[in-house]
């Protein structure tokens, strides 16, 4: 009898973590490495949020809390949804977990039965397919082509829906492509969903605030109120307030689903960290300057990286609307040989050769379900980005 479960055998370890580990190893061995693999803001958590956490510790807010969030935080989340997304939720329609990742995972565990299908546009955040597999479901991929800005359209979505479809996972702005759907593009998708009442929508709005050039963010339940009763609107403080380590994510949705999610959480992790919850209250209710400041910095970096990568022979880098990622194509480099004699067969050999020969760590596209591309996270300093892009250019120019 095997010791490890069959379910686990279907799941692969996170490739983004593998790249980060490899880059760390090289760095520890004395190499000059620039890591562009990590998906977290390089800024510090704003001071007033840290102060709220310290005050919570000093006030003894260090005990178990309600499983899916303290009332103050649920209230702050309701206000956020109303203020920023025009969505009305009651506190009983809100769940809080240890990161957005846990909200998504719990929702899938709470709803999927064997054979249930989950539609995931590719390129996708690495965790979606594996979370679906862990929860016993079947991921169904729909490719968003580079020429379409890595977005899917109504016909693509319609073709993927079957009687077994349970969820459509929607992520805009996207990790890894940075693509964000305009209101009209999203409306076209919601119209398809309206015709298929058995399909639920899991909207991952984690990068909501990182949109550039006057782009207006919208979310499915806002664009199509007819979907409100079958949409889970997921969000968190990790990317919005540089709080990745605090582990607070949340969602709004129909009460019966929220209760089911709390049931899963009550038998696994229980409440998210009490101190982090008080910090999240301060983040959502307090001054919002950090959001604007980080958006300005990320937009500048996006422009820098897109311009520099498009100077590299064989690389094509579309300009994404948001998040802090770009997803350039390396189709023009396939079949070439590097200065060290490595043939670029695919995006994985490209990323490995790039790391070994130049010290620049990126994540290859196959990890996100769309190949002949790679992801750069530009959540690092302008100087490091300029240096990295210069190294990538030299690498590309050296290919024969």
Ligand X SMILES: Cc1ncc(COP(=O)(O)O)c(C=O)c1O
Residues making contact with ligand X (CB under 6 A): 39, 99-101, 125, 171, 175, 204, 206, 236, 238, 244, 249
Q: How many CB atoms lie within 10 A of CB 82?
A: 12
Q: Rounded to the nearest whole angstrom, what is the least distance from the CB of residue 249 to ligand X in the complex? A: 4
53 vs 315, beta carbon nearer ligand X? 53
Q: Rounded to the nearest whole angstrom, what is the least distance from the CB of residue 36 to ligand X in the complex? A: 14
- Which one, of 225, 236, 229, lies nearest residue 256 by Cα? 229
- The DSSP code sequence of 263-291 is HHHHTTT-S--HHHHHHHHHHHHS--HHH
260 vs 323, beta carbon nearer ligand X? 323
Burial category of 40 from C-beta neighbours within 10 Å (exposed 0-12, middle 13-18, buried 19 and up): middle
Torsions phi, psi of 326, nearest 5?
Answer: -125, 155
125 vs 350, beta carbon nearer ligand X? 125
Residue nearest to ligand X (CB): 99
Find out whether 133 and 10 touch, Cβ atoms under 8 Å: yes
Q: Rounded to the nearest whole angstrom, what is the least distance from the CB of residue 96 to ligand X in the complex? A: 11
> Which are the contacts of 29, defined by CB distance < 8 A and separation ≥ 6?
none
Tell me how long the chain is: 400
Q: Rounded to the nearest whole angstrom, what is the least distance from the CB of residue 297 to ligand X in the complex? A: 18
100 vs 318, beta carbon nearer ligand X? 100
206 vs 312, beta carbon nearer ligand X? 206
Q: Rounded to the nearest whole angstrom, what is the least distance from the CB of residue 128 to ligand X in the complex? A: 8
Burial call 9-20: b when 16+ CB within 10 Å, e when fewer:
eeeeeebbeebb
Q: How far apart are CA 142 and CA 385, in angstroms?
A: 31
Q: Rounded to the nearest whole angstrom, what is the least distance from the CB of residue 351 to ligand X in the complex? A: 19
Q: Rounded to the nearest whole angstrom, what is the least distance from the CB of residue 375 to ligand X in the complex? A: 11
Q: How far apart are CA 33 and CA 11, in angstroms?
A: 29
Q: Rounded to the nearest whole angstrom, what is the least distance from the CB of residue 171 to ligand X in the complex? A: 5
121 vs 318, beta carbon nearer ligand X? 121
DSSP state of 208: T
Helices in the chain by DSSP H: which ranges? 6-9, 15-28, 47-58, 71-85, 100-111, 127-134, 154-160, 183-194, 220-223, 255-266, 274-285, 289-309, 347-358, 382-397
The two tokens of residue 315 are 């690389």
283 vs 333, beta carbon nearer ligand X? 283
> Which are the contacts of 224, defined by CB distance < 8 A and separation ≥ 6?
187, 190, 191, 193, 194
Cis bond before residue 123 (omega within 30° of 0): yes
220 vs 249, beta carbon nearer ligand X? 249
Q: Rounded to the nearest whole angstrom, what is the least distance from the CB of residue 24 to ligand X in the complex? A: 18
137 vs 176, beta carbon nearer ligand X? 176
């Amino acid at each position: 009898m095997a010791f490890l479960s069959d379910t686990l055998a279907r799941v692969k370890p996170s490739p983004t973590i593998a790249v980060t580990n490899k880059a760390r190893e090289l760095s520890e061995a004395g190499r000059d490495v620039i890591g562009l693999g990590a998906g977290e803001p390089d800024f510090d958590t704003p001071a007033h949020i840290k102060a709220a956490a310290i005050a919570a510790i000093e006030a003894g807010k260090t005990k178990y809390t309600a499983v899916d969030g303290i009332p103050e935080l649920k209230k702050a989340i309701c206000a956020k949804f109303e203020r920023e997304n025009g969505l009305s939720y009651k506190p009983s329609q809100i769940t809080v977990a240890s990161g957005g990742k846990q909200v998504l995972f719990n929702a899938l565990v709470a709803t999927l039965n064997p054979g249930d299908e989950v539609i995931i546009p590719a390129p996708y955040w690495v965790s979606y397919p594996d979370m679906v597999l862990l929860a016993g479901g079947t991921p169904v991929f729909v490719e968003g082509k580079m020429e379409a800005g890595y977005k899917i359209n109504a016909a693509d979505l319609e073709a993927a829906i079957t009687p077994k479809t349970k969820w459509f996972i929607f992520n805009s702005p996207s990790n890894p492509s940075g693509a964000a759907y305009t209101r009209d593009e999203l409306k076209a998708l919601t119209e398809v969903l309206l015709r298929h009442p058995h399909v639920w929508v899991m909207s991952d709005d984690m990068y909501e605030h990182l949109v550039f050039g006057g782009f207006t963010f919208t979310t499915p339940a806002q664009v199509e109120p007819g979907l409100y009763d079958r949409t889970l609107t997921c969000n968190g403080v990790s990317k919005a307030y540089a709080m990745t380590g605090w582990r607070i994510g949340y969602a709004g949705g129909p009460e019966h689903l929220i209760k089911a999610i709390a049931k899963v959480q009550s038998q696994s992790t229980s409440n998210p960290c009490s101190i982090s919850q008080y910090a999240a209250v301060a983040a959502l209710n307090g001054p919002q300057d950090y959001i604007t400041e980080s958006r300005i910095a990320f937009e500048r970096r996006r422009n820098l990286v897109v311009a520099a990568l498009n100077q590299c022979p064989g690389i094509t880098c579309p300009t994404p609307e948001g998040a802090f990622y770009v997803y350039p194509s390396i189709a023009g480099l396939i079949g070439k040989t590097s200065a060290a004699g490595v043939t670029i067969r695919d995006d994985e050999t490209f990323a490995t050769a790039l790391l070994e020969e130049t010290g620049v760590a990126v994540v290859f596209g196959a990890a996100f379900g769309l190949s002949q591309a790679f992801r750069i996270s530009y959540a690092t300093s302008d100087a490091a980005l300029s240096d990295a892009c210069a190294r990538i250019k030299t690498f590309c120019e050296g290919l024969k």
